[in-house]
């Protein structure tokens, strides 16, 4: 492992260069055409067996091992977000309204570095290593399911993923046995009132007032209907209605997310939400539509692979147990099918001003975190195939 780690250290400047190129040229979920071509070109140059268009824009590359050890898969995501980049730096996004605001550019560049080092290493790994570059993590139904259906995990025994995470400080790594990240659902509510003149509200059924009341009432689900020790989030992310200052809008639309861990609570929240919407609209004489979309399930790590993270990961970066994280991840689907572990590597650095959360217009990472992530991947693969 030591020679691989030394090679990774030498590869870091190239990884940073790849990351900055990808940061300048982001692509949204399901549109990662140039990103996928960039990844495939490099993997093919290093002599790996490469499949393109796996389940969509996904890339799967295989490094053949000696044949004695288990096959281990490593996954990175490639897609960006519909956010305007507000950073002032030489590698800011060049695409208006699109940026890598979650670190997927660095995930891709890091896994490329690991693939290059392992492919060029003189000694073959004990078993095959599969490199999964996934499209569309940010947008449900996500790319994981379609890639799995298209054979991304065929022959794979273990699967590992890493997310660079700015809430954790650089120079650290975190994971958790069992459930670690939440189920991520989406809801869409449309209130249908009666539009009219802004100066004659008594002749209308005001969709804005009703929808505003729904937003307030939804907050009582977590505060008054859910056990305080149960993790649960209900967030309205967008509110759209009307386009004129003196017109009471006919309709108002709310869009948001629900995050839970428990299956029964997940169902309960959905029912409570619809009851609140229905009864609030009935009180004002409005109609409504309510759509609830089941998203990614919780990320549940295999306990033995978390133990491997503690044992092997601690050799390359300080590790500790993560708290529950209410963000969602479609890496959950890989863990449904195979043993594995999802891990966080700290990427925040307050001294450098790298303090902005994921999905923020000024999001950035401490790029030295990519070295930690690459070393952690190497440690997990080596320990798995030699234990």
List CB contacts of 342: < 8 A, sequence separation 6 or more: 160, 161, 162, 163, 175, 180, 181, 299, 301, 329, 331, 335
Predicted local distance difference test score (pLDDT) of residue 387: 86
Predicted local distance difference test score (pLDDT) of residue 67: 80
Among 24, 142, 125, smallest CA distance to 72 is for 125
| All domains in the chain, ordered by first residue | 2-180+298-386 (3.40.630.10), 183-295 (3.30.70.360)
Quote the pTM value.
Answer: 0.94
The catalytic site residues sit at 79, 137
> Could you please report the per-residue DSSP string of 42-93?
HHHHTT-EEEEEETTTEEEEEE---SSSPPEEEEEE--BBS------STT--
State how far the Cα of 166 lies from the Cα of 350, in Å rounded to an integer.
10
Predicted local distance difference test score (pLDDT) of residue 196: 98
Six-digit token pair at 146?
């379609």
State how far the Cα of 207 lies from the Cα of 193, in Å rounded to an integer.
5
- pLDDT (tens place) for every residue of the chain, 387 residues total: 899 999 999 999 999 999 999 999 999 999 999 999 999 999 999 999 999 999 999 999 999 999 889 999 999 999 999 999 999 999 999 999 999 999 999 999 999 999 999 999 988 899 999 999 999 999 999 999 999 999 999 999 999 999 999 999 999 999 999 999 999 999 999 999 999 999 999 999 999 999 999 999 999 999 999 999 999 999 999 999 999 999 999 999 999 999 999 999 999 999 999 999 999 999 999 999 999 999 999 999 999 999 999 999 999 999 999 999 999 999 999 999 899 999 999 999 999 999 999 999 999 999 999 999 999 999 999 999 998
> Residue 306 to residues 132, 143, 341: CA-CA distances in angstroms?
20, 24, 6
């Amino acid at each position: 492992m030591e020679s691989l780690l030394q090679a990774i250290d030498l590869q870091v400047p190239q990884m940073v260069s790849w990351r900055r190129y990808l940061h300048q040229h982001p692509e949204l979920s399901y549109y990662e055409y140039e990103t996928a071509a960039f990844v495939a070109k490099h993997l093919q140059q290093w002599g790996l067996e490469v499949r393109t268009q796996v389940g969509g824009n996904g890339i799967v590359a295989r490094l053949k091992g000696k044949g004695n050890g288990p096959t281990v898969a490593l996954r990175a995501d490639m897609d960006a977000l519909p956010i305007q980049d507000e950073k002032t730096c030489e590698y800011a996004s060049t695409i208006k309204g699109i940026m890598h605001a979650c670190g997927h550019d660095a995930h891709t560049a890091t896994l490329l570095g690991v693939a290059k080092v392992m492919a060029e290493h003189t000694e073959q790994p004990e078993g095959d290593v599969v490199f999964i570059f996934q499209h569309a993590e940010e947008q449900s139904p996500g790319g994981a399911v379609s890639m799995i259906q298209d054979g991304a995990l065929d022959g794979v025994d273990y699967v590992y993923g890493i997310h660079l995470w700015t809430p954790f400080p650089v120079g650290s790594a975190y994971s958790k046995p069992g459930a670690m990240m939440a189920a991520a659902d989406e809801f869409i509510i449309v209130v249908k009132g009666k539009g009219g003149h802004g100066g004659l509200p008594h002749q209308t059924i005001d969709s804005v007032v009703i929808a505003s009341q729904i937003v307030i009432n939804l907050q009582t689900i977590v505060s008054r209907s859910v056990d305080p020790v149960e993790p649960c989030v209900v967030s309205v992310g967008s509110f759209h209605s009307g386009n004129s200052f003196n017109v009471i809008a006919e309709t108002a639309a709310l869009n948001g997310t629900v995050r839970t861990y428990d299956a029964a609570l997940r169902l309960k929240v959905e029912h409570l939400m619809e009851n609140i919407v229905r009864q609030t609209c009935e009180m004002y004489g409005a109609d409504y539509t309510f759509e609830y979309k089941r998203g990614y399930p919780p990320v549940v790590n295999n306990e033995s692979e978390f133990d491997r993270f503690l044992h092997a990961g601690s050799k390359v970066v300080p590790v500790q147990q993560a708290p529950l994280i209410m963000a969602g991840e479609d890496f959950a689907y890989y863990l449904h099918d195979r043993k594995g572990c999802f891990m966080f590597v700290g990427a925040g650095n307050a001294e450098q001003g790298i303090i902005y959360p994921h999905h923020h217009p000024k999001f950035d990472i401490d790029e030295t975190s990519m070295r930690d992530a690459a070393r952690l991947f190497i440690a997990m693969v080596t320990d798995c195939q030699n234990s």
